């Protein structure tokens, strides 16, 4: 009898050859909870798949990020099986796990309806009760093409993977595994089987999956939408079904509750109700107008960042919104970013122009306006620069993903020995910004490395830049994760995330090290040796974009901005017309200290006036009547907090002026 030895942490076990991952984990006493798969020598592995001799094995639990992804991918397969059962002739495309859920795309005659989702859910529940096993199988390219002879989208994926296009095609990369053996690709498929004699439903997939369909603790189908195949408008429009799956009914219920709360807090809904922003159809998708109240909030954001960049040694610049196409050819944007640039405009000088998707080439030209010395470095240039990106209509999402937006953009030109310190400064700047605007400490810091396919620069340059970013994270005291292949085409980056009041995580700040653009633009400085040297370039946007950060704040605060940010900080509410004069006196005292205040002198009832202030989420309503006018006091009715009567006017003015000056912002608590 042949045997194998497997390892977990400091334990080893000897098993019969052919032992599965779950058998190995049990022998190693590594089962501590709800396991969905294993990690074998770093690779995700089905629990019923035999493990090799000498393998190191770790469990993947259902309540981890990787475990949930495997669970959700498995449920996506069951959903596709249910759809093909209920809608004969349906073609199925792709069904990957995504953040907090999954989706699957189908080619069907008519769009799905809410009633269809209920039927699909019911059929999925039936399939789960059948305890269908997820059985892995390996096929050659020809076998895979024959198996999916009537599924054009699967055949396209097979052909693309076989041709080596998986690195550039997320569709192919996430839906098929093609290990090359003997020069030929070997594809993996998974069959949903009730028994060995069963005519199993089968899907092209890299896996792994949960052992069987009855291992799904909780799931819910959420909505449908149209989606172009491979995200391209020249491809067929498919019907996408979104769903979610969790390791327990409790976790699912918590997520559904969060989704309902998020729906109530949608920045487009709140922006309309509170008269902050406007999304007119005439303007076009992904473009917004800040109304006066929203503009006041934005102005506070911009004033804060302008003051901070000056205090931290940055110098302001202003740059145009368009430039000749030649500039974008030099920078590499036309080659590597052209699909996200708006089409060119040919002017009467015979040159083609493009609206800018980024500000960096303009700041480089500002740097090159004169000869620079090593004594000039680091040179930190800052701008609130509006950029334009040709986002597809399917991904535009209000101000969270827009086609025109303003970045608090800065570029730092420095020597190699200054990179780490400059990146540390950017990280600490981001931390201070998150604190000031009520988002607390960063929730996730990620270093994104060189992307597959489109990128420029040498391996040595990328390694040096990635190392600098990692050392900066460590020097800042932050633990970080590595997001493999998520860097920009011109260099690696740090993405800093924040968590909002209902527990959602948002990627906001980006910091990038760039060695490519200085080379492309032949940038230089004169070193202390009298010779020219090439500077490094650090890109950073702390808000990310003003619009996106505004939307995140609006949703996190549910429209109730802290006093220093609120468009209207105080509503003065006279009890009757006789006390309007005293109300105006109260307003004048507040305005003298820079407080934004309004006197409601309408004929409405007192109750309706207070409700109006509450509905508009004004931080303070001050009720004034005969007692207040006589004693020169106010009755304080805050949006959140306890009411107070007979507060001396001068005391309240001092209180709110201090609150605004200190920019007091309660950090939203996670649920």
The answer to whether 249 is a known catalytic residue is no
Helix (H, G, I), strand (E, B) or coil at 166: helix
CA–CA distance, 650 with 610 (Å, rounded to integer):
22
Residue in 436, 445, 650, 449 with CA at minimum distance from that of residue 562:
436
Candidates 136, 255, 389, 617; catalytic one: 389
Does 235 qualify as catalytic in the annotation?
A: no
Q: Return the DSSP state at 113.
A: -
478 Cβ contact partners less than 8 Å away, ≥ 6 residues apart:
427, 442, 445
CB of 187 within 8 A of CB of 158? Answer: yes
CA-atom Rg of the chain in angstroms: 30
Please give the Cα distance from 280 to 49 (Å, whole number): 55
Torsion angle defined by CA atoms of residues 267, 270, 271 and 272, in that order, rounded to the nearest 10 degrees: 130
Residue tagged active-site, from 177, 409, 495, 500: 409
List beta partners, residue 644. Answer: 636
> Among the options 407, 461, 512, 569, which is catalytic?
407
How far is residue 201's CA from residue 257's CA, in Å, rounded to a whole number?
34
Sequence-ordered list of residues with C-beta below 8 angstroms from that of 155, at least 6 positions apart, any chain: 145, 148, 149
| Summary count for the chain: helices (H), strands (E) | 20, 34
Catalytic residue among 267, 298, 372, 493: 493
Residue of 91, 206, 504, 539 marked active site: 539
* Virtual torsion, Cα 86, 91, 95, 101, nearest 10 deg: -40
Return the ∠ at Cα 631 (arms to 629 and 634), rounded to 5°: 65
User: C-alpha distances in angstroms, 519 versus 16, 331, 458, 537?
Assistant: 58, 10, 12, 10
Catalytic residue from among 205, 360, 414, 426: 360
Q: Residue 303: what are its φ and ψ, rounded to 5°?
A: -60, -40
Question: How are the residues of the chain apportioned to helix, strand and coil, as percentages rounded to the nearest 5?
Answer: 35, 30, 35
Select which of 8, 230, 333, 411 is catalytic.
411
**Maximum distance among all alpha carbons in the chain?**
101
Q: Is 539 a catalytic residue?
A: yes
Q: Report the candidate in 54, 15, 60, 63 with the shortest Cα–Cα distance to residue 38.
A: 60
101-107 vs 97-98, strand pairing mode? antiparallel
DSSP per-residue string spanning 205-257:
------SBGGG--EEEEEEEEEEEGGG-TTS-EEEEEEEEEESSHHHHHHHHH
414 counts as catalytic: no
CA gap 491, 358 in Å, rounded? 15
Q: CA angle at residue 221 from 218 to 226, to 5 degrees?
A: 150
Among 573, 563, 589, which Cα is nearest to 628's? 573
Is 267 designated active site? no
> Does the active-site annotation cover 533?
no
Active site residue ranges = 360, 389, 407, 409, 411, 493, 539
């Amino acid at each position: 009898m042949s045997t194998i030895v497997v390892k977990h942490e400091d334990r080893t076990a000897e098993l019969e050859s052919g032992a599965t991952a779950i058998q190995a984990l049990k022998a190693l006493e590594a089962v501590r909870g709800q396991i969905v798969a294993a990690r074998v020598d770093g690779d995700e592995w089905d629990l019923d798949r035999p493990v090799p001799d000498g393998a190191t094995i770790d469990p993947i639990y259902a309540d981890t990020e990787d475990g949930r992804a495997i669970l959700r991918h498995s449920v996506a397969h069951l959903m596709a099986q249910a759809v093909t059962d209920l809608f004969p002739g349906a073609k199925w495309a792709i069904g990957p796990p995504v953040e907090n859920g999954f989706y699957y795309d189908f080619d069907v005659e008519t769009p799905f309806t809410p009633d269809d989702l209920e039927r699909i859910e019911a059929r999925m529940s039936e399939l789960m009760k059948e305890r269908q096993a997820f059985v892995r199988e390996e096929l050659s390219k020809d076998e895979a093409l024959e198996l999916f002879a009537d599924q054009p989208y699967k055949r396209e994926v097979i052909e693309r993977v076989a041709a080596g296009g998986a690195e550039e095609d997320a569709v192919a990369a996430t839906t098929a595994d093609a290990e090359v053996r003997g020069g030929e690709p070997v594809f993996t498929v998974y069959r949903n089987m009730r028994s060995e004699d069963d005519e199993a439903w089968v899907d092209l997939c890299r896996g792994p999956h949960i052992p069987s369909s009855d291992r799904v603790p909780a799931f819910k189908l959420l909505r449908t939408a149209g989606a172009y195949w491979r995200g391209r408008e020249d491809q067929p429009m498919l019907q996408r079904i979104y769903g979610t799956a969790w390791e327990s009914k409790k976790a699912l219920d918590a997520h559904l509750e969060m989704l309902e709360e998020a729906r109530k807090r949608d920045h487009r809904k709140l922006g309309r109700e509170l008269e902050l922003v406007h999304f007119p159809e005439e303007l076009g998708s992904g473009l917004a107008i800040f109304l006066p109240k929203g503009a006041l909030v934005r102005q506070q954001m911009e004033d804060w960042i302008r003051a901070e960049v000056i205090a931290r040694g940055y110098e302001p610049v202003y740059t145009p919104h368009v430039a000749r196409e030649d500039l974008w050819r030099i920078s590499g944007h036309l080659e590597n970013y052209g699909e996200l640039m708006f089409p060119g405009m040919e002017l009467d000088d015979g040159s083609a122009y493009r609206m800018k998707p980024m500000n960096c080439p303009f700041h480089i030209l500002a740097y090159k306006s004169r000869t620079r010395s090593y004594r000039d470095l680091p040179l930190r240039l800052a701008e609130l620069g509006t950029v334009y990106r040709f986002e597809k209509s399917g991904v535009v999402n209000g101000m969270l993903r827009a086609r025109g937006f303003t970045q608090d953009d800065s570029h730092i030109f420095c020597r190699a020995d200054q990179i780490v310190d400059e990146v540390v400064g950017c990280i600490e700047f981001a931390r201070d910004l998150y604190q000031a605007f009520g988002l607390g400490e960063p929730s996730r810091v990620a270093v994104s490395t060189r992307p597959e396919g489109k990128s420029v620069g040498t391996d040595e340059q990328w390694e040096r830049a990635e190392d600098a970013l990692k050392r900066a994270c460590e020097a800042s005291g932050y633990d970080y994760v590595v997001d493999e292949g998520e860097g920009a085409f011109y260099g690696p980056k740090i993405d800093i995330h924040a968590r909002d009041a209902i527990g959602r995580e948002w990627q906001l700040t980006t910091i990038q090290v760039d060695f490519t653009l200085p080379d492309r633009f032949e940038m230089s400085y004169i070193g202390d040796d009298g010779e020219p040297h090439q500077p490094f370039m650090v890109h950073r946007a702390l808000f990310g974009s003003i619009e996106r950060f505004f939307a995140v704040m609006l949703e996190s605060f549910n429209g109730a901005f802290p006093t220093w940010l609120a468009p209207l900080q105080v509503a003065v509410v006279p009890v009757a017309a006789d006390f309007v004069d005293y109300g105006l006196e109260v307003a004048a005292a507040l305005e003298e200290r820079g407080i934004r205040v309004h006197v409601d002198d309408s004929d409405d009832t007192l109750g309706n006036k207070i409700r109006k202030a509450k509905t508009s989420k004004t931080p303070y309503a001050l009720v004034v009547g005969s007692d207040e006018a006589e004693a020169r006091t106010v009755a304080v009715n805050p949006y959140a907090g306890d009411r107070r009567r007979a507060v001396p006017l001068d005391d309240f003015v001092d209180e709110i002026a201090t609150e605004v000056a200190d920019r007091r912002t309660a950090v939203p608590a996670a649920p």
